[in-house]
Amino acid sequence: MHAPILDSHGRTASYMRISVTDRCNLRCTYCAGEGMEFIPHPKILRYEEILDIIALAEGFGVEKVRFTGGEPFVRLGFADFMIAAANRFPNVDMCVTTNGTLIGEHIEHLAKSGVRRMNISLDTMNRKKYEQITGRDKFDIVRENIDRCLDAGMTVKVNSVAMRGVNDDELPEFLEYAASREIDFRFIEFMPVGTETGWKDDLVWTADDILTEAQQLADLRPSVNGPKHGHGPARMYDIVNGKGRLGLISSYSNHFCATCNRLRITSDGFLRTCLFSDKVYKLRPALRNEKLGLDFVERIIRSAMRSKPIGYDLLRKMSANHGHDVCHTRMASIGG
Ligand code: SAM
């Protein structure tokens, strides 16, 4: 174990999000959109290189790794890779965020092999609207796969990007869905990441507004029983007489920069210390150069952490200077 990494604001790095691919089979308006150009395969980190990064990260105090994308399950062999990674690093909490469209054939195998948690994105309760948002007709399969994950004994969190004028008319249906299943249904505020997502201030359906509106529809009580693995920055509410819970993530209106413990690795091997900054640090050349080795990669990460910004300050400054485009890179390339 090396010394834990601390940034200049006293924050540690205990959570790493690793994008295993920038490719996705959906084209969500708020994330990738149509017309994405994908990174050529030789530039994408190989699975062994990702394992090297996790080994390094565990050494400097990373306790949780989330695989993301693009869509992780479009990458060949991802399910087996995840099982292998979870077995190799039993002390690292290993999880995945997926759109849930391609997991069907893997659910049983993952559950039996110890992958017992799934975060699945679903932004609407309406099939037509799902197609409008994602560009693909996959609503039924996602709903079915959520239920299959629950049947297989997995803990399921459903994530929904909260957008005014897009899905804010569906709160009764969302609450009904959350009440009918043992899921955590979490709203994430629409974030200004990527220049082509059409983000505007008035499209943000804030966590506070959602709570006020939801309290008029259901009896909600702040949740005292956190799940075993925590729920990060989400404020959780029990739905009285319901099976599931409602979660609110104020990723825009009240960003959790002061306690941000995240590092992000893009699929082509760049480190990002802040979602709201386009500043990246190249790890891939060092990872592929035996002479430099992992010590050198660690040095890059430690040095990058020293200048990890307070993203919310950045967000304010940049939106004052350049309209609303803060981080120009699409979320699909970063991994959320
Ligand atoms: N394909 C996977 C999925 O759909 O969950 C993983 C990648 S996706 C980039 C990771 C998360 O980022 C998803 O929960 C998605 O809803 C969220 N996301 C993408 N763009 C966003 C935005 N502009 N604001 C808030 N959340 C966003």
Q: Is the pLDDT of residue 143 over 90?
A: yes
**Mean of pLDDT values over 299-311:** 92
**Any residues with Cβ below 6 Å from ligand 1, and which?**
24, 30-31, 68-69, 71, 97-99, 121, 159, 161, 188, 190-191, 193, 197, 331-332, 335-336
Distance between CA atoms of 120 and 98, rounded to whole angstroms? Answer: 5
CA 210 / ligand 1 centre spacing (Å): 19
* pLDDT-based confidence at residue 163 (cuts at 50, 70, 90): very high
Judged by average pLDDT, the poorest of 119-128, 209-218, 254-263, 299-308 is 254-263
Residues 6 or more apart whose Cβ sits within 8 Å of residue 180: 242, 243, 244
Q: Which of 328, 307, 310, 272 is nearest to 17 (CA)?
A: 272
Q: How far is CA 75 from CA 10, 64, 65, 162, in A?
A: 36, 21, 18, 28
Q: Is the pLDDT of residue 318 over 70?
A: no
Residues linked to residue 281 through DSSP beta bridges, in sequence order: 271
| Best residue among 21, 23, 31, 266 to mutate for probing ligand 1, ranked by most atoms within 8 Å of CB | 31
pLDDT at 310: 87
* pLDDT-based confidence at residue 306 (cuts at 50, 70, 90): very high
CA 46 / ligand 1 centre spacing (Å): 23
Q: Supply the mean pLDDT for the chain.
A: 92
Residue nearest to atom 23 of ligand 1 (CA): 191
| Best residue among 117, 188, 253 to mutate for probing ligand 1, ranked by most atoms within 8 Å of CB | 188
> What is the percent of the chain with per-residue pLDDT over 90, rounded to a whole number?
75
**Mean of pLDDT values over 83-109:** 97
Q: Is the pLDDT of residue 305 over 60?
A: yes
Residue nearest to atom 25 of ligand 1 (CA): 190
The domains of the chain are located at 15-334
* pLDDT-based confidence at residue 229 (cuts at 50, 70, 90): very low
pTM > 0.85:
yes
CA 221 / ligand 1 centre spacing (Å): 27
Is residue 146 within 8 Å of residue 183, measured between CB atoms?
Answer: yes
pLDDT at 321: 60
Quick one: which atom of ligand 1 is closest to the CA of 24?
1
**Mean of pLDDT values over 213-234:** 81
* pLDDT-based confidence at residue 320 (cuts at 50, 70, 90): low
* pLDDT-based confidence at residue 330 (cuts at 50, 70, 90): confident
pLDDT at 254: 81
Per-residue pLDDT tens over the stretch 245-259: 999 999 888 878 889
Q: Identify the architecture of domain 15-334 in CATH.
A: Alpha-Beta Barrel (3.20)
